[in-house]
Amino acid sequence: MTAATHSPLFPQVPAVPDSADAVLEGLDPEQREVATALRGPVCVLAGAGTGKTRAITHRIAYGVRSGILQPASVLAVTFTNRAAGEMRGRLRQLGAQGVQARTFHSAALRQLQYFWPKAVGGSLPRLVDRKIQLVADAAAGLGTRLDRGELRDVTGEIEWCKVTQTIPADYPYAAAKAGREAPRDPTEIAHLYAAYEDLKRDRALIDFEDVLLLTVAVLQDRQDIAEQVRAQYQHFVVDEYQDVSPLQQRLLDLWLGDRDDLCVVGDASQTIYSFTGATPDHLLDFRARHPGATVVKLVRDYRSTPQVVRLANGLLAQAHGRAADHRLELVSQRPSGPEPSYTEYTDEPAEAEGAARRIRELIDAGVPAAEIAVLFRTNSQSETYEQALADAGVPYQLRGAERFFDRPEVRKAGLALRGAARFGGNDSRLDDVVDLPSQVRAVLSGQGGWTIQPPAGSGAVRERWESLTALVNLAQDLAAARPEATLADFVAELDERAAAQHAPTVQGVTLASLHAAKGLEWDAVFLVGVAEGMLPITYARTDEQIEEERRLLYVGVTRARERLHVSWSLSRSPGGRHNRKPSRFLDGLRPGTTPTVGRGAGSVGGVERGIRGVDATAVPRRAQRTPARCRVCGRTLTDAGEMKLMRCEDCPSDMDEGLYERLREWRAVQAANSGQPDFCVFTDRTLMAIAENRPDSPAELSRIPGVLSRKLRSYGAEVLAICAGQELDGEIAVD
């Protein structure tokens, strides 16, 4: 499912900017700095809602449209297919087709599939869909019984080992050092991990993490392959850099080689996936590893009202640790809105009923259900809210469960629609329907069992109905955008969306865990269960674990655009002991509590220039290029000839005509003596640029496009002598 949005599924596509400079229009000063900082390395520290995706896509597009970046040489990587798809869509709208935007795993798998026959031989082993069954088989082989929860937890430990590059024998020590709560005895997990790897090898399978591990191995062992990849990709952009694991960082280092043409984007205050091996250290250490880096801080929040932003800033003001030292102080750019509400309930069912009642009121007041979310700490909290919403007659959708296009009812509906598109003339149900939405409703009513009215109650039946309704709504939106669309066009649209995992928006209130809500936003957000033992969670004991729980709440708060409702309950069930307390993270923030001493303001927006000259000799001339601008009117130049002149073709020239003629005469002599055409010495435009700039030193001459280092050595002294008005003695320079 996509992020909630006010626009329809098929919005009016904006016109492609007509020039490189037009790409920059509408960006705020800091976003513009990101877009024009095309010399690597660049680090963008972007707070929640500050338009980071806008900034980096405009950066790539500006680089491509200005001729500095070649589209095929750019690789933009992020962490979800949805984010990668959104990035590709934005780049197309900006006129930057051909740029690769992929997840780390997608990019690695593509390279692995291509190079495997050359590096290893044969075909790549099959990628296992669900490793949990393989873990179960490995446990059975060892005579170990794991219940469903343990099976899931052990699988998570194996995934953590692989992304942190921990081998089975080292797991007990590594887990203890990282402060991980092992679901079984660490030595037993190490044996399970080893058995899992053996079983995978015996069955000729690889898993999700192996894709990265094997790609790293190939690039490390085969210098020729590494050089081939580096020749293809010369400019890298990494989104959500705070979530990079050690293994992903190793792969990125191998892609880069000894270059630093890299732009990273992240926010240490949104690091919430450490249990998967993610660490903000790579983001926080970026300036230390790249002293010449440009650092841009985005703090203008375009998502949330000042009231929501004030709470978000207040949460981080009480934070501790390294990530807190680098926090950003958000500044809302939106009009004022309602203050966040704080509500205490006697028990969880009462809290769920209270949330459902308020949600019903919002919907009745005109707020779309898809613009409302209920966010909780653990998935186990979902059931109570599903029932409460169903009882209130509120449609809902679960996020973070099975992917939309993998749901059985969606797969079955797809087959029925495909059959109807091919053989609809023989289907009596389609005889009396003409428009696309009616055709889709007829097919889904017949074979899918869809009904106009939703079923009573909650659970699987209601969720199945919501899935099919999302397909009906998608057909309505497609027909509105393209009245001539046929059933075959609709099936093609579904296939394209399934390939990109771009699910249609289900018209219901979103129920999601705080982790699953990352990257999304809604008009109204209900943060529920914000109590001690849940936020922070009971098993968060170390200072760093507590701080990650605080960051998790911060992510939840910053999902809200206008309305934010925070609640907690005093007991789990009706009649239970009132032994719960509101989360410590709310102390000093909610009314009636004593303000705590804060850390003061966080970092403000702005730009920090790197220490230029550091490792400058290691940076290829290509990486030193910056956008060419007309020295007369200031417009970005994209035409190669204009870039040599450093001015627009129709802008007034201050060329020294006499100097230009002397240079042409000199060039004719050079060409005749070397037996090559005139342009092989210097092109007319290069000579014009020399005559306009009248350089008086090798450094000034080398800055003129077309004067490469070889030509500077061969002809530089004579060209400078001519520019100085000196007479040459007739000697011809020899290359």
Task: Write the pLDDT tens digit of every residue in 709-718.
Answer: 778 888 899 9
Of 34-43, 426-435, 647-656, highest mean pLDDT: 34-43
pLDDT number for residue 635: 67
pLDDT number for residue 620: 40
Ligand-binding site membership of 683 (annotated): no
pLDDT number for residue 540: 83
Q: How confident is the model at residue 603 (pLDDT cuts 50, 70, 90)?
A: low
Q: How confident is the model at residue 428 (pLDDT cuts 50, 70, 90)?
A: low
pLDDT number for residue 322: 83
* Residues constituting the chain: 735
Copy the structure tokens of residue 377: 């700490």
Q: What percent of the chain has pLDDT over 90?
A: 37
Q: How far is the CA of 314 from the CAs of 553, 558, 578, 589, in angstroms?
A: 12, 12, 28, 7
**Residue with the larger pLDDT of the pair 417 and 342:** 342
Ligand-binding site membership of 84 (annotated): no
Amino acid at 678: D
The backbone region for 571, taken as left when phi is positive above 0, alpha when psi lies in -120 to 50, beta otherwise, is beta
Amino acid at 513: S
Please give, one letter per residue, the 3-state secondary structure of 466-525.
Answer: HHHHHHHHHHHHHHHHCCCCCHHHHHHHHHHHHHHCCCCCCCCEEEEECCCCCCCCEEEE
Q: What is the CATH number of domain 20-114+219-298?
A: 3.40.50.300
Query: Across residues 70-87, what is the average pLDDT?
Result: 88
Ligand-binding site membership of 480 (annotated): no
pLDDT number for residue 541: 80
Q: Are 38 and 310 in contact (CB under 8 A)?
A: no
Q: Give the list of residues 6+ apart from residue 544 with CB closer than 8 angstroms, or none.
A: 179, 274, 321
Amino acid at 29: P
pLDDT number for residue 396: 84
**First-to-last C-alpha distance (Å) of the chain:** 62
Q: Give the list of residues 6+ apart from residue 617 with CB closer than 8 angstroms, or none.
A: none
CA 731 to chain centroid, in Å, comes to 59
Q: Give the list of residues 6+ apart from residue 495 with CB closer than 8 angstroms, or none.
A: none
Q: How confident is the model at residue 506 (pLDDT cuts 50, 70, 90)?
A: low
Query: Across residues 295-319, what is the average pLDDT?
Result: 94
Q: How far is the CA of 75 from the CAs of 36, 39, 389, in angstroms?
A: 18, 15, 43
Q: Which residue has the tokens 């950066």?
A: 59
CA distance 169 to 176: 13
Q: How confident is the model at residue 512 (pLDDT cuts 50, 70, 90)?
A: very high
Structural class in CATH, domain 341-403+507-586: alpha beta
pLDDT at 70 over 70: yes
pLDDT number for residue 292: 85
Question: Global pTM?
Answer: 0.74
Q: How confident is the model at residue 514 (pLDDT cuts 50, 70, 90)?
A: very high
Query: Across residues 602-608, what is the average pLDDT?
Result: 67
pLDDT number for residue 364: 93
Fold match, 20-114+219-298 / 640-724: no
Ligand-binding site membership of 95 (annotated): no
pLDDT number for residue 496: 76
Of 46-50, 382-386, 578-582, highest mean pLDDT: 46-50
pLDDT at 235 over 70: yes
Q: From the CB of residue 412, how many other CB atoms can be counted at a distance below 10 Å?
A: 15
Copy the structure tokens of residue 382: 């979902």
pLDDT number for residue 456: 64
pLDDT at 470 over 90: no
β-bridge partners, 301: 332
What's the mean per-residue pLDDT of the chain? 84
pLDDT at 3 over 50: no
pLDDT at 655 over 90: no
pLDDT at 357 over 90: yes
Q: Each residue of 182-194: pLDDT tens digit?
A: 888 889 999 999 9
pLDDT at 516 over 80: yes
Query: Across residues 612-620, what is the average pLDDT?
Result: 42
**Lowest mean pLDDT, pick from 150-154, 156-160, 342-346, 500-504:** 500-504
Please tell us whether the domain made up of 640-724 is placed in CATH 1.10.150.80: yes
DSSP-assigned letters across all residues of 356-414: HHHHHHHHHTT--GGGEEEEESSGGGHHHHHHHHHHTT--EEESSSS-GGGSHHHHHHH
Closest CA to 219 of 206, 205, 208, 233: 233
Q: How far is the CA of 337 from the CAs of 6, 300, 309, in angstroms?
A: 18, 17, 11
CA distance 251 to 216: 6
Q: What percent of the chain has pLDDT over 70?
A: 87
Q: Residue 561: phi, psi to the nearest 5?
A: -85, -50
Copy the structure tokens of residue 203: 């069955």
With 0-12 / 13-18 / 19 or more C-beta atoms within 10 angstroms meaning exposed / middle / buried, residue 709 is exposed
The backbone region for 658, taken as left when phi is positive above 0, alpha when psi lies in -120 to 50, beta otherwise, is alpha
Copy the structure tokens of residue 720: 């400078």
Could you tell me where the DSSP H helices lie in 507-607? Answer: 543-557
Q: How confident is the model at residue 500 (pLDDT cuts 50, 70, 90)?
A: low
With 0-12 / 13-18 / 19 or more C-beta atoms within 10 angstroms meaning exposed / middle / buried, residue 144 is middle
CA distance 717 to 730: 13
Domain range summary for the chain, segments of one domain joined by +: 20-114+219-298, 126-203, 341-403+507-586, 404-500, 640-724
pLDDT number for residue 448: 62
Query: Across residues 323-336, what is the average pLDDT?
Result: 89
CA distance 638 to 641: 9
Calculate the dihedral angle through the C-alpha atoms of 495, 125, 109, 139, rounding to the nearest 10 degrees.
90
Ligand-binding site membership of 606 (annotated): no
**Residue with the larger pLDDT of the pair 327 and 530:** 530
Copy the structure tokens of residue 672: 């005749």
Closest CA to 391 of 362, 342, 451, 350: 350
Q: Which residue has the tokens 């094997």?
A: 214
Closest CA to 589 of 324, 339, 374: 339
> Which helix H or strand E contains 299, and what residues bound it?
none
Q: From the CB of residue 725, how many other CB atoms can be counted at a distance below 10 Å?
A: 9
pLDDT number for residue 422: 81
Amino acid at 469: T
Ligand-binding site membership of 533 (annotated): no
Q: Each residue of 139-154: pLDDT tens digit?
A: 999 988 888 778 888 8
pLDDT at 420 over 90: no
Q: Each residue of 309-318: pLDDT tens digit?
A: 999 999 999 8
pLDDT number for residue 379: 83
**Lowest mean pLDDT, pick from 72-81, 365-374, 466-475:** 466-475
DSSP-assigned letters across all residues of 605-652: SEEE---TTTTGGGS-GGGG----B-TTT-PBP-SHHHHHHTS-TTSP
Q: How far is the CA of 444 from the CAs of 447, 451, 695, in angstroms?
A: 6, 8, 74
With 0-12 / 13-18 / 19 or more C-beta atoms within 10 angstroms meaning exposed / middle / buried, residue 714 is middle
pLDDT number for residue 452: 82
Q: How far is the CA of 408 from the CAs of 404, 464, 495, in angstroms?
A: 9, 9, 15
β-bridge partners, 75: 100, 236
Query: Across residues 70-83, what is the average pLDDT?
Result: 89
pLDDT at 416 over 70: yes
CA distance 623 to 363: 53
**Residue with the larger pLDDT of the pair 680 and 44:** 44
Q: How confident is the model at residue 637 (pLDDT cuts 50, 70, 90)?
A: low
Q: How confident is the model at residue 232 (pLDDT cuts 50, 70, 90)?
A: very high
Q: Using omega within 30 degrees of 0 as the cis cutoff, is the peptide bond preceding 536 cis? A: yes
Ligand-binding site membership of 49 (annotated): yes
Q: Are 272 and 517 in contact (CB under 8 A)?
A: no
Q: Are 79 and 104 in contact (CB under 8 A)?
A: yes
pLDDT number for residue 700: 87
